[in-house]
Structure 1
Amino acid sequence: MKEILIYRYKVLGFQRFSNLFWAIFIFVSSLNFLIISYKSYQINIGNNFELIDNSVLFFPQGLLMGFYSLLGLLFSIFSFTSHLLRLGYGFNEFNKKENIVRLFRWGFPGLNRRIQICYSIEDVKSIKVNYYPERTIYLSLKGNFDIMLIRKGFFESIPLLEKQAINIAEFLKIPLVYE
C-alpha cells in the first residue's frame, strides 16, 4: 500500500455563497434607500415611480436614509470586489515529503498579495479543536503558539469539524486536543 505524503485542502475565505447573497441583498436595499432619499428631496424622477410613499421628509429622515444608502453601496462594492479578488482563498498543506506545513492565502492586491507561512512538521505539537465560543481548528506549535487553520463558519456541523481535525491529526501522527 502506498503511503500518502501530501494532505491538502482548500480554504474558501470570502468565496462563500452566503457572502455573495448578503452583498446582493445589501446592494438592492441600499439602492431602495437611495431612491427614497432622492424622492424625499422633492425631485421629480418620473410618474412611473409611485411605489414609494411621499410621507418621508428630507430632513432628517431622507438625509439619513441617503447616508445609510451610500454606506451600504460602499460595503456591497467592497464585498463584490472581495469576492472577485478571492480574498482569504487558499489552502492548508501538510507535506511529509518536504517535512513542512504550508498555509497559503490570497490577500489584498499589492506587493504582499500572496500570503504563505511555512512551519516544520517537527514544530507541530498537536491539533486543537475549539467548540466554544466558535468552532475552529488550531495548529498548536511548540512554545504554546496556536495558529488558526479553519475559522468560524467554515463547517456547518460539529461532526464535519471533528472529522477534518481527526484527518489532520492522523496524517501528521500527532495528538488531537479538545477545548
Structure 2
Amino acid sequence: MTTDKTQQQILRQDILGSRRFSNLLWAAIVTIGGVGFLLAGLSSYLKTNLLIVSDTSQLQFIPQGIALTFYGVAGSLLATYLWLLLVWNVGGGYNEFNKETGKVTIARQGYPGKNRQVEVEFPISEVQSVRAEIREGLSPKRALYLRSKKRRDVPLTRVGEPIALSTLENQGAELARFLQVPLEGL
C-alpha cells in the first residue's frame, strides 16, 4: 500500500495499446470475411458446399474460385496479424514521473523479439514543458508531448483514435502541475 507522500511523488499514466474495442471488432470482421472467401474458393474447387449461407460449389474454379481463394488467404493472413497485435498489445505501456528518483520513464510494448519493450528514461530536470498538439479536420490529432532540453519532443498519448479534448486538457494540466513546468498549446 502506498502512502500519501508516495502518491504525491510518483505519477503513473497507463497507455492503452492495440487492445481496443475497435481493433477487436475489425479483427473479428476480417476473420469472418477471410474465412468466408477461403471456404467459398475451396467449395468451388472441391465441388462440395462448405458454407452455410450460400452454395458456391457450382462456381467455376478458374477464374472465380482462384480469386476467392486468393482473397480468402489474404484476408486470413491479415486477420492473423490483427489478432497477434491484440495478443501482444503493441503500443501499450505507461508513463511514469518519479520525483523520488528524479526520472521520467516512458515504456511501450513492441513486437516480440530481442527488444520487446521500448523504454526511454531521462532526468526530470531535462523537462522544459508539456506541449499539447491539437489539429482538427479530416485527420484529427490530439496528443501530449514532453518538451525536453536535450532530445526531441517525447509523445505521451496513445496512437490511433484521438482522445477527447477535455481529457487531453486535464491530463496535460495535471502533468504540468506535477512537474511544475508550463503547459503549451492550449
Fold shared by both chains (TM-score > 0.5): yes
**Corresponding residue to 1:172 among 171, 175, 179:** 179
Number of the residue aligned with 2:93: 90
TM superposition shift of 1:46:
4.0
Residue identity matched to 2:15: V
Q: Secondary structure at the match of 1:162?
A: helix
Paired residues in the alignment total: 178
Change (3 A) 1:40 1:125: same
**Corresponding residue to 2:41 among 30, 37, 40:** 37
In the TM superposition, structure 1's runs of 4+ consecutive aligned residues that sit over 6 Å from their partners are none
TM superposition shift of 1:173:
0.9
Q: Secondary structure at the match of 1:109?
A: coil
| TM-score where L is the length of structure 2 | 0.83
Q: Secondary structure at the match of 1:131?
A: strand
Residue identity matched to 1:4: Q
Number of the residue aligned with 2:77: 74
Note if contact 2:91-2:108 (Cα within 8 Å) is conserved in structure 1. Answer: yes
**Aligned Cα root-mean-square deviation (Å):** 2.5
Number of the residue aligned with 2:110: 107
Structure 2 unaligned spans of 5+: none
Note if contact 2:48-2:57 (Cα within 8 Å) is conserved in structure 1. Answer: no
Structure 1 unaligned spans of 5+: none
Note if contact 2:16-2:158 (Cα within 8 Å) is conserved in structure 1. Answer: no
Matched, 1:145 2:152: yes
**Corresponding residue to 2:31 among 27, 33, 37:** 27
Change (3 A) 1:61 1:146: farther
Q: Distance in 2 between matches of 1:48 and 1:65?
A: 13
1:21-57 CA-partner distances (Å, limit 9, x unpaired): 111110011111112222333x222488561456755
Q: Distance in 2 between matches of 1:49 and 1:97?
A: 62
Residue identity matched to 2:91: G
